[in-house]
Structures are given as structure tokens and as C-alpha cells.
Amino acid sequence: MVYQKLKGTADLLPIDTNKWQFVEEKAKAVLHTYQFKEIRTPMFEQLELFARGVGETSDIVTKEMYDFKDKGDRHIALRPEGTAGVVRAYVENKLYGPEHHKPVKLFYTGPMFRYERPQSGRQRQFHQLGVEVFGSRNPATDVETMVLAMDLFKQYEISDLKLVINSLGSKESRKEYRKALIAFLEPHFDQLSRDSKERLYKNPLRVLDSKDKGDQAIVKGAPSILDYLDEESRRHFEAVKEMLSDLNIPYIIDTNMVRGLDYYNDTIFEVITTNPKFGANATICAGGRYDGLVEEVGGKSVPDTPAFGFGCGLERLILLLDHMDYPFPEMSQLDAFIVTIGEQADRAANRLAYHLRHNGLAVEREFMNRKPAKQFKTADKMNARLVFTFGDAEIVTNVVKVKNLTTGKQAEVSLEKLYADFTRTYKELILKLEKGE
């Protein structure tokens, strides 16, 4: 039996995790400047939470759920997205209480699970970085959060990215729009794709973002949702546009953009790459305002809590950086490599590695007892700054040879002194190496 990973999953090897850590660290630094705090919620929840939170008619719930009964007969699902769990945690832990600064700004990263047809940029286990802001209806929150999303990408100098925005208005105005859209689509019913036929009366807005070419041609002439906004939503959307312009952030309005999840109102947005190597699945980040979700999950006893959030697909971001040949930093940054000659050297190397590491240095050593030339080659390949060499003589004298691989200069150091007063002896060694012996 040969085991293989399940379809739609991936092994991230060290060459990959080097990139992932880099991207995650950069993102966390940006999130800090926007004062978002990390939240970690469980990887699985009651199925019902997602059905409620994500929407019963969404693709995620109807087709893509990884759900199962546990041994206690609970119906459970691996989380397909981050928002529902964070909202549940917000309610359960009463983060709306007076001791919490408003709005509450949270971020999360981690794996999500969807039963999808795997392809480039689409997996069954994938990773999202997402944020949620709770408690502000201010359009400045929409803008700050969208700008944060753009800032996460800005540091990589990705040129082919566009911010696409739209407004879904309020629940009430959407009802009017829904009627108008159905009236517009009905005469084209026979030409619509099967999916869209099915959606026409259940969720006609989803016909607008159909991936079917025939549907796309039809909806080009559809009425614009922006013509149906009520006064409050219209003013909200105007304010959002103004504040984006204040920051000189370019955006495109796509009145046919709706989101797959059911819970959004007013501002929604996507960050899409136009990189020619990308092809399909070009949406890297998507989100918007969902003022009704906290009540949907938490019930009437929770104070009215408007919210705004997004989710970013990390696989897609890293794929884009790879397509751009982004110069990720070197993987190994090694302070010292210890060469051993003869088995006698093992004990001494063991001790030296321990001391160097306890003084904060990154150290690798020889374990395989290979020829010295091979070891030096390895040290070079690992980009080691210093090489310490132990042979029979060094074990007797307790003085070890050190070479700086960058300059080629050599020096000697007494281990007795090094172990007794590391900081001073090490500093002297570095100085000696600068001059060379």
C-alpha cells in the first residue's frame, strides 16, 4: 500500500513554508499597524452554524461542506470559511461588552475546507487570512478595511491588481431590485444555463456572477443595483468612494458583482489579479459589509452589531508571487557550521553547538563523518558565516580553528575562554577574523 495525500490537499515542504512564513509575517506587521488583534477559533463547528451563517442557498453549504457525524452523533463540519466561527466566538465571549474598545477588530489565519473540484488556485484544504470588524456602521470602516486588504498586497509591488467594488444596498432595497432583475431575466429564461435557471427565483442575484459565458452575455444588459439603493445606502456608497479617492486608491465599480455568500449588504469588494499567467480563479481577496449576521447567529439578545470583513486566499497570493518571480529571501541564514574530523570530534562538536545555540546563534554541524572537503562544501551551500573545525589536535589543545567563509580569513579561539565568557570572547573572535591571522 502506497499512501498518497488526499485530492485537493497539499504538502508544504520547507522550500514552501519559507515563503508562507515570509508572507504571514509581513501580513501580521501590516495588521498591527491597523490595530487588528488575532483570534483563533476551532477548525470544526456545529454544521448548523455554517448553514445559518454562510447561508442555506450558498454553494458552500449546498455543495462544498465537509460534514460528518461524530461519535456523539453531533452533526459537525470542518470550517469552510472563517467568518461564521469568529461571529460565534464574538457572541459567545460577549466581545460586545463595555470593556472592549469599539469597533472590535479581529484577524485570523488558517486552513479552510471545501469539497471542490481541485485546480490551480482551488483546493479542498486551503488557507485564508481574514479580518472582521464589529460594531461600526461608519463608511470609514469599509474604506479602512479595504485599504488594509490592498496594503497587504502593496508591499510586494504587485502591479496587476484591481480593487472592484459594488453596493448591495439594504435588505429592503434589494427586494425591489430582485423583482426588477427577475422581470429582466424571465424573457431570457430558455437561454440561461441550468444553474442560473435554478437560481432565477431562489437567488436571482447569483445569476449576475455566473461563470457561464451565455449567462454573462445576457446579464450585461441587466438593470443596475445601484439604481435601486435607498437614500442611506446611496450616501454610504458615495462616502466610501470619496474616501477611497482621498487616498488616491484606484477602484472599479462592477454593478454585476455580487458575492457568493448570502449575508452581505451595502459595500462589497474583491481584489482581482489581471496577471496573464493567472487565468481563472483570479480573485485573491473578497469581502464586504454584513450588518445582519451577528443577529442571525447570536439572536436578538445581542446588541445590534454592524460588521465588515474579508477573506484572502493565501494559496492564490503565493501563486501570484511565484508568477511574478518574487524574490523571496534566502532560506538558511546560518551563523556557524561545525566541521568534525574523526569520531573523536563528536563530543567536542556536541558541546560547542550547544554553547553557540544557547547564545542565540543558528548552528548546524556534521553528523555523517564525511570528508572535510565535503563538509566545507555543505557549509558553503548553507551560507554559513563561520566554520569551526574540530580535528584530533583541537581536542587535545582545546583551541579551535575558525574560518569566515565570506572573507576567507581565519583565526583561533580557546574553548575554555569561549565557554567561560562567551560574549567577550566571541566579540574578540569576530574582530580577529576581520583582520585575519
| Closer of 144 and 315 to ligand ATP (Cβ) | 315
Nearer to ligand ATP, 326 or 422 (CB): 326
Nearer to ligand ATP, 103 or 313 (CB): 313
Contact 305, 83 (CB under 8 A): no
- For residue 427, give the C-alpha cell: 566579540
411 forms bridges with which residues in the sheet?
402
Please, which residue, 39 or 282, has the CB nearer to ligand ATP?
A: 282
Residue 50: CB minimum distance to ligand ATP, A: 12
For the bound state, the minimum distance from the C-beta of residue 262 to ligand ATP, rounded and expressed in Å, comes to: 12
Report, in Å, the least distance between residue 282 CB and ligand ATP: 8
Looking at beta carbons only, is 170 or 273 nearer to ligand ATP? 273
| Cα dist from 165 to 103, 105, 256, 287, whole Å | 22, 21, 10, 10
Whose Cβ is closer to ligand ATP: residue 121's or residue 292's?
A: 121
If the CB atoms of residues 109 and 305 are measured against ligand ATP, the closer one turns out to be: 109
Tell me how far apart the alpha carbons of residues 309 and 294 are, in angstroms, rounded to a whole number.
Answer: 12
Which residue, 114 or 403, is less far from ligand ATP as judged by CB? 114
Treating both helix axes as pointing N-terminal to C-terminal, what angle do 171-185 and 194-202 enclose, rounded to 10 degrees? Answer: 140
CB of 430 to ligand ATP, least distance (A): 46
CB 49 within 8 A of CB 89: no
Neighbours of 17 (CB within 10 A): 12
Cell of 122: 482551488
The footprint of ligand ATP (CB under 6 A) covers 81, 114, 116, 121-123, 126, 128, 260, 281, 283-286, 311, 313, 315-316
Which residue's C-beta sits nearest to ligand ATP?
Answer: 313
Identity of the residue, 208 or 402, whose beta carbon is nearer to ligand ATP in the bound complex: 208
Query: What minimum distance in Å lies between the beta carbon of 213 and ligand ATP?
Result: 16
Distance CA 127, CA 109 (A): 7
Which of 116, 39, 105, 106 lies closest to 80, judged by CA?
A: 116
CB of 141 to ligand ATP, least distance (A): 19
Q: How far is the CB of 21 from ligand ATP (least distance, A)?
A: 19
In the β-sheet with 307-313, what is the strand arrangement from edge to edge? 37-38, 104-113, 125-134, 307-313, 283-289, 265-273, 161-167, 252-253
Tell me the angle at which helices 314-323 and 14-33 cross, rounded to the nearest 10 degrees: 110
| Residue 375 falls in which region: left (phi positive, over 0), alpha (psi -120 to 50) or beta | alpha
Q: How far is the CB of 436 from ligand ATP (least distance, A)?
A: 53
Q: Which is nearer to ligand ATP, 122 or 355 (CB)?
A: 122
Chain centroid to Cα 382, Å, comes to 29
Q: Which is nearer to ligand ATP, 27 or 336 (CB)?
A: 27
Distance CA 325, CA 329 (A): 12
Q: How far is the CB of 134 from ligand ATP (least distance, A)?
A: 19
Work out how close the CB of 243 gets to ligand ATP at its nearest, in angstroms, rounded to a whole number.
Answer: 23
In angstroms, give the least distance from the CB of 12 to ligand ATP: 14
Q: CB 118 → ligand ATP: shortest distance, Å?
A: 8
If the CB atoms of residues 26 and 235 are measured against ligand ATP, the closer one turns out to be 26
